[in-house]
Amino acid sequence: MTETFRGWCVVELMGHVTLAGYVSEQEIGGSALLRIDVPETEAGPAFTKMVGTGSIYGITPVDEETVMTICSQGAQKPFASWELQTAFRKYYNRRLEEERPHIEDQIRRQLTSEVSNANEDDEPLP
């Protein structure tokens, strides 16, 4: 029988990210993930982060007091909606620049067509 790891830890992840919290193993969709439950402190809300084992550089078991001290420094942040907004804005602006020539061309053709049709519909002056 395999022993399941659980305990207070500091976890070092790719991207120079360090999280401290209560760590346990969890399987989702057949993949083993590390679950990090970061506790609430005055510096920020509690949140849970699931990470793949390939993104972990190190795990240091510590006591709860050490985790609370690290979390109270405010360096740990949950996923923020502004990250999605920033990503969407970059994507939208890039797509707009790519499509701008086509859009301008379509508008130009539409206006030219409307002007031509308007001129054909005009009755001659007496």
Can you point out the beta strands (E) in 44-111?
Answer: 47-52, 56-61
Residue 3, SS3 per DSSP: coil
Q: What is the pLDDT of residue 81?
A: 54
pLDDT at position 113: 81
Distance (Å, rounded) from C-alpha 61 to C-alpha 8? 6
Output the six-digit token pair for 22: 């209560």
Q: Which pLDDT belongs to residue 124?
A: 58
d(CA 11, CA 44): 18
pLDDT, residue 15, reads: 83
CATH 3.50.40, domain 6-78, yes or no: no
Please answer whether residues 43 and 31 qualify as being in contact, where contact means their C-beta atoms are separated by less than 8 angstroms. no
Give the burial class of 62: count Cβ atoms within 10 A of its Cβ; 0-12 exposed, 13-18 middle, 19 or more buried: middle
The structural domains of the chain, with segments of one domain joined by +, span: 6-78, 80-121
Extract the tokens encoding 126: 């007496």
pTM over 0.75: no
In this prediction, residue 67 carries a pLDDT of: 95
> Can you give the pLDDT at residue 107?
87
Question: Which regions in the chain score pLDDT beneath 50?
Answer: none
d(CA 80, CA 82): 5
